[in-house]
Amino acid sequence: MPELNSRQISQLPPLAAIRVFEAVARHLSFTKAAEELGMTQAAASYQIKLLEERVGAPLFLRRPKQIVLTEAGQRLAPSVSEAFALLSGAYAAARSGADGVLCVSTLLTFASNWLARHLGSFQVAHPSLAVRLDTSNRLVDFAREDIDIAIRSGGGTWPGVEVHKLFNADFTPVLSPALAASIGGVKEPADLLRLPILDPGDIWWRDWFVAAGLPVEELAKRPGTSMGAQAYEANAAIAGQGVAIVTRALFKAELADGRLIQPFDLVGDDGHAYWLVYPQARRNVPKIRAFRDWILAEIARQQAG
């Protein structure tokens, strides 16, 4: 990494101005940036003016009801964001190393059906590192929240983060053996129309119905109850309350011991997957590296088995 000399450091603009620029560039709003930083809009504008004087060029174009980055602002913004991320990573590494607390943001079903069943081996390998799970569907802001690493579902194209694919988020119907037996067995996709459908508004159901040749309009006739997570819907399915549509990799135990059955080989795939993500600038923080190496190895071992 290149070293700065005293002359280069003295030429840097005030850190306060750079901090304001990063927030304004991220929000594209002086008002929101000022609220985030706990200052007035006038103070934020003043800091940007100081920075523009040092740069020698405008950084924002002020338009009615909006602002946009100028060409100079567009060149500066990514490097400033990366610099703050590097500072955050360096501080976290100095503070905790491979010890302390690892904060993981994850989807509820992944937490309950995968992490909870495998995390013990990580804790054995890293007894001085406590893991705190934050279960949420939202995308966390690593720069503003106390989150070290996240597990997300989607296409894997999020800017500013390292991504590692864990497994595909495929989907297929599952139900309890007792519910299937209640209609003499589920032998063909049309048999599902004789049973309650859990969360019929889920786009996965529509995609699977199309692939199976079933009339999609039948879904709109069902009660639009939504439980908000595969874990809840699978529990309802185990209790015989209806047919759920889930990702098989998250319910291997339930399928293996017969609490749930997968009546058809037809599996939907919309290109989404489960991903491990963390800020690019923090990829070498010891606790992040330890969790990354563990979960990728654990996933590979599970898939090989």
The verdict on 149 and 22 lying in the same domain is no
* In-domain check, residue 267: no
Domain that holds residue 34: 6-96
Domain final residue pick, 49, 74, 96: 96
The verdict on 86 and 18 lying in the same domain is yes
Domain final residue pick, 96, 126, 153: 96
Structure token digits, residue 151: 């597990």
Structure confidence at residue 63 (pLDDT):
86
* In-domain check, residue 215: yes
Cα–Cα distance for residue pair 87/89, rounded to 1 Å: 5
The verdict on 148 and 24 lying in the same domain is no
The verdict on 14 and 88 lying in the same domain is yes
* In-domain check, residue 262: no
Structure confidence at residue 305 (pLDDT):
67
Phi, psi of 133 (to 5 degrees): -95, 135
Residue 279 identity (one-letter amino acid): P
The verdict on 11 and 90 lying in the same domain is yes
* SS3 track for the chain: CCCCCHHHHHCCCCHHHHHHHHHHHHHCCHHHHHHHHCCCHHHHHHHHHHHHHHHCCCCEEEECCEEEECHHHHHHHHHHHHHHHHHHHHHHHHHHCCCEEEEEEECHHHHHHHHHHHHHHHHHHCCCEEEEEEECCCCCCCCCCCCCEEEEEECCCCCCEEEEEEEECCEEEEECHHHHHCCCCCCCHHHHHHCCECCCCCHHHHHHHHHHCCCCHHHHCCCCCCCCCHHHHHHHHHCCCCEEEECHHHCHHHHHCCCCECCCCCCECCCCEEEEEEEHHHCCCHHHHHHHHHHHHHHHHHHHC
Q: Residue 299's closest CA among 122, 180, 139?
A: 122
Which pTM does this prediction carry?
0.69
Structure confidence at residue 1 (pLDDT):
46
Structure confidence at residue 89 (pLDDT):
67
Q: How far is CA 14 from CA 10, 47, 53, in A?
A: 10, 9, 12
Q: How many CB atoms lie within 10 A of CB 70?
A: 16
* In-domain check, residue 10: yes
Phi, psi of 15 (to 5 degrees): -60, -35
The verdict on 186 and 202 lying in the same domain is yes
* In-domain check, residue 156: yes
Write out the chain's pLDDT in tens, 305 residues.
455 555 566 677 888 899 999 999 999 999 999 998 899 999 999 999 999 998 899 999 988 888 999 999 999 999 888 888 777 766 665 655 455 889 999 999 999 999 999 999 999 999 989 999 999 888 888 888 889 999 999 999 988 899 999 999 999 999 999 999 999 999 999 999 999 999 999 999 999 999 999 999 999 999 888 888 999 999 999 999 999 999 999 999 999 999 999 999 999 999 999 999 999 888 888 899 999 999 999 999 988 86
* In-domain check, residue 265: no
Domain count, the chain: 3
The verdict on 91 and 26 lying in the same domain is yes
Across 293-302, b (16+ Cβ under 10 Å) vs e yields ebbeebbeee
The verdict on 108 and 150 lying in the same domain is yes
Structure confidence at residue 304 (pLDDT):
84
